[in-house]
Amino acid sequence: MIELSPQQREIVEAPLKPMAVSACAGSGKTATAVQRLAAIRERLDDRHGHIALLSFSNVAVDTFNRDYNALLAEPGSGRIGGVEIATVDAFITSTIVRPHGHLVMGCARTPFLVHGSEPFLANFTVWDGNRPHPTTALRLELVKGVGLQFEVGRARTVIDQKAAADAIRKLAKVGAYSHALGSFWALRVLRTQPLILRALARRFPHILVDEAQDIGTFHQFILLALRGAGVQVSLIGDVNQGIYEFSGATGEFLDQYAKRDDVDGRMLSTNYRSVPSIVTIANQLSGRNDMAARTAPATLSGAYYFAYKKDEKDNALKSFAALLGQAGIAVNDAVVLCRSAEWADDWAGGEEEQGRGVLRHFVDAAIQRDKFGRFDEAFKHCCAGVVGLLDDGHGALLSEVARHGTDEQSSQALRRVLWTFVKDPANGLPSASLVADTAWQPALLARAEILLAALSAEHGLKAGDTWKAKLAKRNILNQPLMRPADLGIENVPRFRVSTVHKVKGESIRGVLYICNRSHLDELLGGTATEVGKIGYVALTRARDLFVLGVPANYLKEFAPKLDALGFAKAGGT
């Protein structure tokens, strides 16, 4: 177990009152939050009350659970249960929407989350004046001076209030809600059901929220409603890492919360993750003055840049591999980061897109499993694909099967069948290395038939009438799903490639961040803009080595600025 610093310990041992902790990157928020959770648990007299520790990703929740259980296992630990560790959304779902949502949704069943691929959703659309959109595509925005606004699509088309409200009600009547609508219904419950609000406040006298810069507008109102009913809400986060601005999470709530009279404002300002030269650059970008706890290792470390050309990606990857070699970092301990999913796909050796609709879910599942070894992602896609093949009547199934930690026996048995299918390229989901039109799709069709027969016999699940048509060869090519490099034919190091958003919260030994001109511009401009913050998150993931990929055309323009910040030029393409 980590020995806490005095700054961390003061937070852990502070009096039981609402707290706002403004922390820098790599400052040990995880250990501090877990120990604070344990300290509150120990000191709280109310043995019926639960303390909730909430975050925004399953990875963070798993880490918290692991560390809290390790604390419980320590000799002499008198700590007991009575804590709830979950994502913010899972907490809202399990404590508000599922048990009480029916009171405001007008449905006669336990509400269930829909993911968008469920066939029955075809009957639930909303009209934008020109064309219909799935109701599940509605996003809710609170716009200053306007109030609640409903939008769809990338162009953020605003939907007529009444049309949106009618569509949401229609969906709610069958018990379904989308991800965006979950918080909406939860807030409705809290605002219209005072007895439930009071009961929740009694059950959760303390709620700690990690990554609090990611609290969006609806989450904020939910937390404030609970606070109004007496819950002590504490926040811990880093506004410089607020990279979900597009979804209404500006970090302002965390900033403002610290200024409230009854809130104890604290800081965590030592970075335990990165070597000092990286912390110095991070300080300049964020305007903070954080300390580096580490000293530089004897091998190559720090922040570098090199030029790359878009059509010579393999050279850039080889240059990065060479730098990693000098730093003594294995390829497996490094990552290539991009701003957008499209870029990440491209740098990962993007496949030519194959499949449409339901079939596309199976394509994605095979690629996730065989190219990236990500079985959890493969499982999710496979579930969406299988549910897409079933009869409309099984609309709630996907949400039951996909629910993290569900303990219902029927769901568990079904999960086992689906896992078996996902894990087995010989008899289940066919290998992504097969040629798609002549081998992969026919194999999928035959095995899906066997799977559907088993689901019908053992689980009473009925296949939809058109399931075969959904697996027809639409946009299926005469080539494998994975491109040759991933089949081991070309000799380029195989890096994990990811978006910055996906590695949030991680510590990684070597990071290459591939930029275009505007990414660089905003990175150098500091953390005032969202893309600037994304650059800051990329930089601060690196433990030992951070490399910036600069487009060759712009090297001359950016080199002096990068040198001035403390980057060093690496040899490169």
Ligand X SMILES: Nc1ncnc2c1ncn2[C@@H]1O[C@H](COP(=O)(O)OP(=O)(O)OP(=O)(O)O)[C@@H](O)[C@H]1O
Task: Using CB under 6 A, list all residues that contact ligand X.
Answer: 2-5, 8, 23, 25-31, 238, 241, 272-273, 505, 507, 540
Query: Whose Cβ is closer to ligand X: residue 25's or residue 38's?
Result: 25
Q: How far apart are CA 527 and CA 536, in angstroms?
A: 7
Q: Nearest Cα to 241, choosing from 251, 231, 254, 232?
A: 251
- Dihedral over alpha carbons 308, 309, 311, 317 (to 10 degrees): -10
Shortest Cβ distance from residue 21 to ligand X (Å)?
Answer: 10
β-sheet bridge partners, residue 338: 499
Give the nearest distance from C-beta 527 to ligand X in angstroms: 13
Kindly state the smallest distance separating residue 266's Cβ from ligand X, in Å.
13
Q: Which is nearer to ligand X, 118 or 238 (by Cβ)?
A: 238
Closest residue to ligand X, Cβ-based? Answer: 28
Query: What is the smallest separation between the CB atom of 422 and ligand X, expressed in angstroms?
Result: 30
**251: left (phi > 0), else alpha (psi -120 to 50), else beta?**
left
Tokens 């905003």 map to which residue? 522
29 is in an annotated binding site: yes
Give 30 or 433: the residue with its C-beta nearer to ligand X: 30
In the complex, what is the shortest distance from the CB of residue 448 to ligand X, in angstroms, rounded to a whole number? 41
Q: Which amino acid is at 431?
A: S
Q: Which amino acid is at 416?
A: R
- Closer to ligand X by CB, 241 or 527: give it: 241
Can you tell me the distance from the alpha carbon of 572 to that of 317, in angstroms, rounded to the nearest whole number?
10
Can you tell me the distance from the alpha carbon of 352 to that of 136, in angstroms, rounded to the nearest whole number? 28
Tell me if 30 is assigned to a ligand binding site: yes
Residue 26 marked in a binding site: yes
- Helix (H, G, I), strand (E, B), or coil: what is residue 572? coil
Distance between CA 345 and CA 359 in Å, rounded? 19
94 carries a ligand binding annotation: no
545 φ, ψ (degrees, to nearest 5): -135, 125
Nearer of residues 8 and 22 to ligand X, judged by Cβ = 8
**Coil, helix or strand for 477?**
coil
Q: CB-wise, 23 or 225, nearer to ligand X?
A: 23
SS3 track for 189-203: HHHHCHHHHHHHHHH
User: Based on CB atoms, which residue is closest to ligand X, 2 or 446?
Assistant: 2
Angstrom distance (rounded) from CA 64 to CA 30: 7
What's the CA gap between 281 and 268, in Å, rounded?
18
Closest approach of Cβ 388 to ligand X, in Å?
Answer: 36
DSSP SS3 for 445: helix
CA distances, 205 to each of 70, 83, 91, 224 (Å): 24, 11, 14, 13
User: Could you tell me the smallest distance in angstroms from the CB atom of residue 272 to ligand X?
Assistant: 3
Smallest gap from Cβ 7 to ligand X, in A, equals 9
Which residue, 385 or 535, has its beta carbon nearer to ligand X?
Answer: 535
Residues written for the chain: 573
Collapse the DSSP code of 269 into the 3-class scheme (helix H, G, I; strand E, B; otherwise coil) and give the result: coil
Q: How far is the CB of 498 from ligand X (least distance, A)?
A: 15
Any binding-site annotation on 406? no
Measured in whole angstroms, how far is the alpha carbon of residue 171 from the centre of its chain?
25
CB of 282 to ligand X, least distance (A): 10
Taking the least distance from each CB to ligand X, the nearer of 28 and 480 is 28
Cβ atoms of 348 and 331 closer than 8 Å: no
Q: How far is the CB of 365 from ligand X (least distance, A)?
A: 29
In the complex with ligand X, the residue whose CB is nearer, 5 or 368, is 5
- 25 annotated ligand binder: yes
d(CA 243, CA 23): 15
Are 350 and 341 in contact, with CB atoms under 8 Å apart? Answer: no
Residue 11 or 432: the one with the smaller Cβ distance to ligand X is: 11
* Residue 33 three-state SS: helix
Radius of gyration of the chain, Cα coordinates, nearest whole angstrom: 25
Sheet strand arrangement including 508-514: 496-499, 334-338, 508-514, 542-551, 302-308, 568-569
User: Minimum CB separation from ligand X for residue 179, in Å?
Assistant: 24
Please state, in angstroms and as integers, the Cα–Cα distance from residue 249 to each residue in 114, 162, 346, 405, 525, following that order.
23, 26, 28, 27, 20
Nearer to ligand X (CB atom), residue 23 or residue 254: 23
What are the E-state strand segments in 245-301?
264-268, 270-271, 291-292
Binding residues for ATP: 23-30
Binding residues: 23-30
